[in-house]
């Protein structure tokens, strides 16, 4: 048996468990589970992204942003983390930075959801400018 393979599998299993907890809105338990996974494998960008999602569920935006930053630092091609980062930035009103993150996501994967989210920022900026 390859111990590294088992090591990764344990982190992957914990990641899956954390995602299931997030789907049940059990964000505190999910965060604990993601932290356990990170203790096993701290270079797994998906776990950092999912950890950030749990932190968003707990309204801990600054920590969530740091976790998204870690995810994209580990894998700059991880479009989902760029999208989630943009979504968080838009929610806190950092529209310029949100657009930059959406642009990175779109450059990697032109998912219609990403395109719509970026267009929504433009609409919000227009509404604020008109107010």
* CATH code for the domain in which residue 17 is found: 1.25.40.10
Q: What pLDDT score does 116 carry?
A: 96
Residue 1 has pLDDT above 50, yes or no: no
Residues 3 and 24 reside in one and the same domain: yes
CA 10 to chain centre: 21
Residues 20 and 35 reside in one and the same domain: yes
C-beta of residue 53 within 8 angstroms of C-beta of residue 66: no
C-beta of residue 78 within 8 angstroms of C-beta of residue 48: no
Residues 44 and 103 reside in one and the same domain: no
Q: What pLDDT score does 28 carry?
A: 99
Task: Report the chain's mean pLDDT, rounded to a whole number.
Answer: 91
Q: Which of 57, 43, 63, 110 lies closest to 83 in space, CA to CA?
A: 110
Q: Domain span at residue 100?
A: 76-131
Q: What is the pTM (predicted TM-score) of this model?
A: 0.88
CA pair distance 70, 114, nearest whole angstrom: 20
Residues 23 and 84 reside in one and the same domain: no
Residues 53 and 3 reside in one and the same domain: yes
Residues 98 and 118 reside in one and the same domain: yes
Q: What is the pLDDT of residues 74-87, one digit of tens each?
A: 999 999 999 999 99
Averaged pLDDT for residues 91-112: 96
The set of long-range contacts for 101-106, using a CB threshold of 8 Å and a minimum separation of 24, is 104/72, 104/79, 105/79, 105/80
The count of domains in the chain is 2
Averaged pLDDT for residues 46-59: 99
């Amino acid at each position: 048996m390859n111990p590294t393979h088992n090591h990764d599998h344990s982190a992957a299993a914990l990641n899956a468990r954390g995602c299931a907890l997030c789907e049940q809105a059990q964000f505190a338990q999910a965060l604990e589970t993601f932290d356990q996974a990170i203790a096993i494998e701290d270079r797994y960008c998906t776990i950092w992204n999912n950890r950030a999602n749990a932190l968003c569920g707990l309204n801990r935006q600054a920590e969530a942003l740091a976790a998204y930053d870690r995810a994209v630092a580990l894998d700059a091609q991880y479009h989902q983390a760029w999208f989630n980062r943009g979504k968080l930035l838009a929610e806190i009103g950092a529209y310029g930075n949100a657009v930059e993150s959406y642009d990175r996501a779109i450059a990697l994967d032109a998912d219609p959801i990403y395109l719509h989210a970026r267009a929504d920022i433009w609409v919000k900026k227009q509404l604020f400018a008109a107010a």
